[in-house]
Amino acid sequence: MTRLDVLALSGSLRRGSLNTALLREAERLVPHLRFDHYDGLGALPHFNEDQEHPAPLAVTDLRRRVRDADAVLIATPEYNASIPGALKNGLDWLSRPAGDDGPALALKPVAVVGASPGPFGTVRAQLALRQVLHKMNAHVVQQPEFLLFQAHQQFGEDGRLPDGSPAQRLLSDVLDALARLAAPGARRHETAAAVR
């Protein structure tokens, strides 16, 4: 199986994050995917058009890591029925072209997952995130969807999803779908560049 490089991006900044745990579980599940865990969202400056040229170093690093990856896996918390501000800020930086290059996430295969201790499992945050990624012209895995509700009860003390659990199987299916979308030669439909 082709080895693919995946940039794992957690929308949570906190140490005990359920969403970051989800990304660690994803890495353990699929050995043929090489994970680069990005944890710099909290260090990005607030997006400001006046500070785009030259781009801050932290932004250049994020863009490079997105470009170097074959695919991106985003785990988003739900804050007030949407995505956390830090994640939106990172996406706003990524939506902007850098030099002659287009936006780093444009045409990039992306999968979205999310975990919440609540009963809805980040469904509203994921809808909001998909809308942003659509505008950015990313290639987003549509099916299966992965929503982990009551997530604090689903992880074991080892920080893992139980082997063979429905959640673990579904996460594995999402990663398979992402790998298929990112595989060399995969047919991805290119849409016209977004109008700005």
Ligand X SMILES: Cc1cc2nc3c(=O)[nH]c(=O)nc-3n(C[C@H](O)[C@H](O)[C@H](O)COP(=O)(O)O)c2cc1C
Total interface residues for ligand X by CB under 6 A: 14
- The residue (of 18 and 26) whose beta carbon lies closer to ligand X is 18
Stretch that binds ligand X, among 14-22, 140-148, 159-167, 171-179 (CB under 6 A): 14-22
b/e burial code for range 171-184 (CB count within 10 A of at least 16 → b): bbebbebbbebbee
Min dist CB 194 to ligand X, Å, is 28
Q: What is the largest CA-CA distance in the chain?
A: 50
- List the interface residues with ligand X, window 52-111 (CB under 6 A): 77-81
The CA distance from 45 to 58, in Å, is 8
Adjacent-strand bridge partners of 9: 38, 74
Residue 95 CB-density burial (10 A; 0-12 exposed, 13-18 middle, 19+ buried): buried
Q: What x-and-dash track marks residues 144-163 binding ligand X by CB under 6 A? A: --------------------
Adjacent-strand bridge partners of 34: 5
- The residue (of 116 and 154) whose beta carbon lies closer to ligand X is 116
Among 7, 18, 69, 175, binds ligand X (CB under 6 A): 18
Stretch that binds ligand X, among 15-23, 26-34, 65-73, 166-174 (CB under 6 A): 15-23
b/e burial code for range 61-81 (CB count within 10 A of at least 16 → b): ebbebbeebbbbbbbbbbbee
- The residue (of 16 and 185) whose beta carbon lies closer to ligand X is 16
Give me the residues that bind ligand X (CB under 6 A), please. Answer: 12, 14, 17-19, 77-81, 116-118, 120
